[in-house]
Structure 1
Amino acid sequence: MNRKSTRSRSTLPSPARTTGRSDKTGRRLLAGVVAAGTVCTGLSTVPASAAAPTPIVSRGVTIPAFYTPPTELPSANGTLVRTETLPLGLSIPGLDGRPMPGAATRMMYKSTDSAGRPVAVTGAYIEPSAAWKGTGPRPLVAVASGTMGQGDQCAPSFALQHPLTLNGDTVSVGYEALAIYRLLSTGAAVVVTDYVGLGATDRLHTYVNRLDQAHALLDAARAAHAVPGASITTASRTGLYGYSQGGGASAAAAEIQPAYAPDVPLAGTYAGAPPADLTSVIKGIDGSALAGALAWSISGFAQADPDLRAVVDANVSATGRAALADASTMCVGDALFGYGFTKSSKWTTSGKSIGDIIAAAPRAKAALDKQRIGRLKPNSPVRLATGVQDDIVPHSQARQLALDWCNKGADVTYDAIVLPNLGDKILTNHLVPLITDQGDAVSWLTDRLTGKAATSNCWSMPIQL
């Protein structure tokens, strides 16, 4: 596969690189540019009619100029910056002339990253064709997508328009459409976040960064109310939905919502296979079919955290740097073919794994530990489901998250999905529960959106394997 991209990035930032320009485009900021001046705080939104820069190209895919953030952002989190119509790649005309499953709007909104800096985030809002038959006004579900990749062409909102991209350089599949469309069929409106740096072209996607993801998801829920044509109201119940990376995002959002977004009327959260303890997850993905995701997390954290960046700079070899730069423009399909079953020891100067190197560096270990989910109490019901055979995002750490929340008095419904071992490290043990649990997940969340009380099973937790 040709891994060369016209979007050149450095995933290992250094002071000399923070103001560099791409040799290919002459317009792209190199990856890792996250200084406070990169995205400045503004006092007002940039109107949708403002002139946008020329689109860039990432691995053969043109990224619309819409995704390039303005130089100034509004001050309030969740404020819309711009919107435009988003053609859904999977849509059919309804009998009443309206498209099914709904009408979509691409959006950009303001959020705050884990360092407290303003950041532009993109996403999509979908107004459903189906009527809401539950109590109260039409509810809203904020969807956090599972792992899509780190290239801007992998953005979930882009995948809604282009469900399958196969161009010789990019392999991207919009697999979250199934869950999104099932949620829309209930009559709930859906908003999808692209996360920090995925889609929006000013920085690298900060893969599995706890606060970046949580902020982006909650601010998407806020921004949805201002989308032209949205039928949701301030009284609309809100649900959070996510699996895998998305499960971590929805879990983190649920526990910070009382402090960060008390204005979001959160009725319930589905967190499937959440990567709550990254120390454990790194061991799970290293050498697996999804080893490319380890490259994304290394690059994202090196960009965002100086302690982890110092460890990466000191220990990653030239071969590793090339791999991280290459992977930073990939989607999941590319990474499976390009870096499947790669061990991180091949990327280091010592031959030790990235996990072992971080474990031996106290400041880096502490920085990664700050990403741990489960130290705060969600104030609304949460359903946490995990496959007992999951060896990519290990079952044991996800179950521990449920226990941590239960011990804090949270309302937790824990479901252990019992399946046979479907193959070590080949991703099946992680992916199959995504499908087999989806109906129950949508049903549980729909009940919360209709106002039905949840039944916690904290004190009769299912099996531990």
Structure 2
Amino acid sequence: MTSAKSASVSVPRRSNNPDTDPFYQPPAGFASQKPGSILRERSITASFFGLIPEPIETHQLLYRTTAVNGSAIASVTTIFKPWFPKTDRFISFQTAYDSSSTSCVPSYQYQLGNPQTDLIAQLEFLIIQIYLLMGYIVVSPDYEGPEAAFAPGRLAGMGVLDSMRAVANFKSTLGLNTTSPMIVGTGYSGGSIATGWAASLHPTYAPELNIKGWTQGGTPANLLGTLLNIDGTVFSGFGPDAIAGLSKSSTYGAQLGPIIDEYFTSEGKSAISYTESNCAISDLVNFFEKSVLSTDIQSLGDGLLQDPTIASILAENVMGVVKDETPTAPVFVYHASQDEIIPYSNASTLVDSWCSNGASVNFTTFASGGHITTEILGIVDVVEFVEAAFAGKTTSGCAHNTELSSALNPIALGAEIEPILIDLVTILTTLGKSDSNISKNISILKNVV
């Protein structure tokens, strides 16, 4: 008979929020270190939903990276090492945490015992399991930096590349057998901001990295185009979230701070402040179908976008404009033609620009499904591209194709991966065709809140 004592369940202890956890604070003099230098290291217990321990070796590194103005900042990357890892490569997985709150960063959300307020990270943790089962070491950086700055692409891109440098510098502990491991970077939606900008900045910022390929889907390559598409919709909460991210001190705070102080109303300032304490789903509920272009939010109305400072910042964050910022490693880009959050033209224009500048891009259009469902529908193509990139078997030049299927084959990646794909199929079924249930679910959440 099992005793009451042995049957009891211990509740994991919650760790400190990044704002109060000393691990996240860089040591004195860190600015003199090279980008990618390891400042601190620790082992953690990773988990699903903060409750179910992930039985693999997990490390976190505090590393030196770079702010938009070139000054030194520090961020954290989480490393998942499977039982029998490939020792000459790793995958950098940029999760779509889409938040300007430090409580939503992946390094905090992954830890056993912590409150799981970022549901997107939990969905994508399932995808990370696929790569772990295939023997890949997986790295997941807090690419938004120490202030959790959502949307600024250059900050995120440098954060990804410096995370890769830090992992390469951690080779002895990880058992990597080379000083120049092969790397593939991948990300979807908000994660593709970081991935796309890392791909763009790789040739000039970190050319020594041995990057074999990139995959990105649902890419917000043009922040203005995305804002105009979602403003006043069920996804409008990403608007104040992005404004908060763009106005952090590590990004464009010096330029945007005076504009917010002068033109934003108390309601507008409250919306920005809310995003700095809450994760993406709560932001969507709080700013449901509102508009950042409304005079209830700021006194300039539609004229806000014509302000020279704001226009300049938005222009600086358009992916694919500068020729020197063209990926040199092959890229797989995928996007739903009916994406209800990120306009399809964001991806197609980016691909055309990169291709005209000599990049090798495989662009797949998904004719069925919406923004969230396409991340799931595209997973098989993504994994196959990752494998081909590591094997050096991607094709050069640019190719376009259309995927008509709205189904995911549970055995497409082999029997070992089948249970995870079945879980993803269940999520796909719950979401419904073209993400039709998303707006309904957010409406329900709004009424509950």
Instruction: State the TM-score, normalizing by the size of structure 2.
Output: 0.77
Greater helix share, structure number: 2
Instruction: Please state if 1:86 is matched with 2:25.
Output: no
In the alignment, what sits opposite 2:5?
A: none
CA deviation vs aligned residue, 1:220-279 (integer Å, no higher than 9, x gap): 111012335212222421111111111121111112101110111010000111111111
- 1-side partners of 2:401 and 2:373: how far apart? 22
In the alignment, what sits opposite 1:7?
A: none
- 2-side partners of 1:186 and 1:326: how far apart? 40
Q: Which moved more, 1:157-166 or 1:396-405?
A: 157-166
- Shift in alpha-carbon separation, 1:179–1:163, aligned structure 2, 3 A: farther
- 2-side partners of 1:181 and 1:361: how far apart? 45
Deviation at 1:327, TM superposition (A): 1.5
Instruction: Please state if 1:452 is matched with 2:393.
Output: yes
In the alignment, what sits opposite 1:37?
A: none
- 2-side partners of 1:151 and 1:372: how far apart? 23
**1:215-254 map, 5 Å:** 215-227=158-170, 229-232=173-176, 233-254=178-199
Deviation at 1:121, TM superposition (A): 0.6
Deviation at 1:69, TM superposition (A): 3.1
In the alignment, what sits opposite 2:354?
A: 405
In the alignment, what sits opposite 1:415?
A: 364
**1:40-439 map, 5 Å:** 64-73=21-30, 74-90=32-48, 102-132=56-86, 137-162=87-112, 165=115, 170=117, 172=119, 173-197=121-145, 200=146, 204-227=147-170, 229-232=173-176, 233-303=178-248, 304-305=251-252, 306-344=254-292, 345=294, 347-350=296-299, 352=301, 356-375=302-321, 376-419=325-368, 429-439=370-380
- 2-side partners of 1:218 and 1:414: how far apart? 23
Deviation at 1:368, TM superposition (A): 1.1
In the alignment, what sits opposite 1:52?
A: none
- Secondary structure of the residue aligned to 1:225 is helix
Q: Which moved more, 1:272-281 or 1:64-73?
A: 64-73
CA deviation vs aligned residue, 1:171-225 (integer Å, no higher than 9, x gap): 655222122221222222111111233xx4xxx3221111110000011111012
Deviation at 1:452, TM superposition (A): 1.8
- 2-side partners of 1:186 and 1:357: how far apart? 51
- Shift in alpha-carbon separation, 1:145–1:107, aligned structure 2, 3 A: same
- Shift in alpha-carbon separation, 1:338–1:413, aligned structure 2, 3 A: same
> Number of paired residues?
375
Query: Quick check: 2:337–2:344 contact (8 Å CA) kept in 1?
Result: yes
- Shift in alpha-carbon separation, 1:455–1:293, aligned structure 2, 3 A: same
- 1-side partners of 2:274 and 2:54: how far apart? 38
- Shift in alpha-carbon separation, 1:461–1:312, aligned structure 2, 3 A: farther
Coordinate RMSD, CA, aligned: 2.5
Structure 2 residue identity aligned to 1:219: D
Deviation at 1:462, TM superposition (A): 5.2
- Shift in alpha-carbon separation, 1:403–1:264, aligned structure 2, 3 A: same
Query: Quick check: 1:147–1:244 contact (8 Å CA) kept in 2?
Result: no
- 2-side partners of 1:162 and 1:278: how far apart? 34
Task: Note the residue ranges of structure 1 that are not aligned, 5 or more in a row.
Answer: 1-54, 92-98, 421-428
CA deviation vs aligned residue, 1:36-81 (integer Å, no higher than 9, x gap): xxxxxxxxxxxxxxxxxxx8658xxx85332233343142010111
Identity %: 24
Query: Quick check: 1:291–1:340 contact (8 Å CA) kept in 2?
Result: yes
- Secondary structure of the residue aligned to 1:229 is helix
Deviation at 1:328, TM superposition (A): 1.0
Structure 1 residue identity aligned to 2:384: S
- 2-side partners of 1:280 and 1:162: how far apart? 38
Query: Quick check: 1:148–1:156 contact (8 Å CA) kept in 2?
Result: no
- Shift in alpha-carbon separation, 1:235–1:56, aligned structure 2, 3 A: closer
Deviation at 1:101, TM superposition (A): 6.6
Query: Quick check: 1:148–1:155 contact (8 Å CA) kept in 2?
Result: no
Query: Quick check: 1:113–1:196 contact (8 Å CA) kept in 2?
Result: no
- 2-side partners of 1:90 and 1:321: how far apart? 34
- Shift in alpha-carbon separation, 1:367–1:90, aligned structure 2, 3 A: closer
Task: Note the residue ranges of structure 2 that are not aligned, 5 or more in a row.
Answer: 1-14, 404-449
Query: Quick check: 1:101–1:185 contact (8 Å CA) kept in 2?
Result: no
- 1-side partners of 2:295 and 2:372: how far apart? 26
- Shift in alpha-carbon separation, 1:293–1:262, aligned structure 2, 3 A: same
- Secondary structure of the residue aligned to 1:175 is helix
Instruction: State the TM-score, normalizing by the size of structure 1.
Output: 0.75
- Shift in alpha-carbon separation, 1:236–1:101, aligned structure 2, 3 A: farther
CA deviation vs aligned residue, 1:284-326 (integer Å, no higher than 9, x gap): 2322333222112112222332443343333210111112112
- Secondary structure of the residue aligned to 2:200 is helix
- Secondary structure of the residue aligned to 2:368 is coil
Query: Quick check: 2:97–2:104 contact (8 Å CA) kept in 1?
Result: no
Query: Quick check: 1:86–1:105 contact (8 Å CA) kept in 2?
Result: yes
Structure 2 residue identity aligned to 1:230: L
In the alignment, what sits opposite 1:12?
A: none
- 1-side partners of 2:118 and 2:136: how far apart? 30
Query: Quick check: 1:138–1:189 contact (8 Å CA) kept in 2?
Result: no
In the alignment, what sits opposite 1:11?
A: none
Q: Which moved more, 1:405-414 or 1:64-73?
A: 64-73
Structure 1 residue identity aligned to 2:175: S
Query: Quick check: 1:128–1:189 contact (8 Å CA) kept in 2?
Result: yes
- 1-side partners of 2:160 and 2:235: how far apart? 24
